[in-house]
Amino acid sequence: MRRSTTTALGLGTVFTVLALTGCASHAEPADSSAASSAPVHRGGSTPSASAPVSSAQLNKLLLNESDLGEGYTRKPETARRNDDVTVIGCPALEKLGSDAATGSGLAFTRKAKASFTYTGSSTSEVSEELYSDSATKLSKGIGVVFDAMLSCPSYQVTSGTSVVDMATEKTAAPDLGDEQWSQLLTFSVGGQRSVVKQTAIRTGNILVIVSGSPGLVDAHLDKALAKARTAR
């Protein structure tokens, strides 16, 4: 079985789950920007060219504790680890990972990220990633990652001695922005099972990705998109 590094989008979520179960710290290798995909989109519009928003401005557009409300705490950025991360049983992800250089996120020109814990009846997490590049690059880049992940209903990801069983399922994307992608990922590791929702919305030359507990993603996606749109 060939060993390769997984994609930024999938690995970010995997390491979120590993961190929750005490297995590893967060890490994110970069995505390759290969083929196109078929996202849900509105009006059949063609992505237009526009200068990317700066990373500094994207940071200002991220959700914060006051946007989210009581009970949310921002997580500090954790040091990256160089654990060998391997995809097993998903050729599309293996191929995508083998062509990708290890980096700190999806390979778009500008980026910003924030992660939060929420303490209610239980402790949950939600994270937001903002990227900016040409609309065409954003559309193709995120599309190829979702396509690769959804091509494999089940597979495994290993990091060091940890093995994560993963299941991926496409879910309905909200009718927001210019293009939309959404999926549910189920992780089983160390006898624990977690379900994470990931929804990506492209609005012009900004890509908004909200990941985490499904209820929290649904609750805050509109706010994340509205705030991102203030860059226009």
Angle subtended by helix axes 8-20 and 135-150, to nearest 10 = 60
Q: Rounded to 5 degrees, what angle do the CA atoms 62, 199, 172 make?
A: 150
Domain map of the chain by residue range? 8-36+52-73+80-231
Q: Is the pLDDT of residue 2 over 70?
A: no
* Confidence band for 13, pLDDT divided at 50, 70 and 90: low
Q: Is the pLDDT of residue 216 over 80?
A: yes
Per-position b or e across 71-96, b if 16+ CB within 10 A of its CB: ebeeeeeeeeeebebbbbebebbbbb
* Confidence band for 83, pLDDT divided at 50, 70 and 90: low
Q: Is the pLDDT of residue 205 over 90?
A: yes
Q: What is the DSSP string of 121-152?
A: SSEEEEEEEEEES-HHHHHHHHHHHHHHHHT-
Cβ pair 198, 9 in contact under 8 A: yes
pLDDT in tens, 84-99: 678 889 888 877 763 3
- Asked whether the whole model's pTM tops 0.85, one would answer no
CATH superfamily of 8-36+52-73+80-231: PknH-like extracellular domain (3.40.1000.70)
Q: Cα–Cα distance between 129 and 112 in angstroms, integer?
A: 6
Cβ pair 29, 97 in contact under 8 A: yes
Q: Is the pLDDT of residue 153 over 60?
A: yes
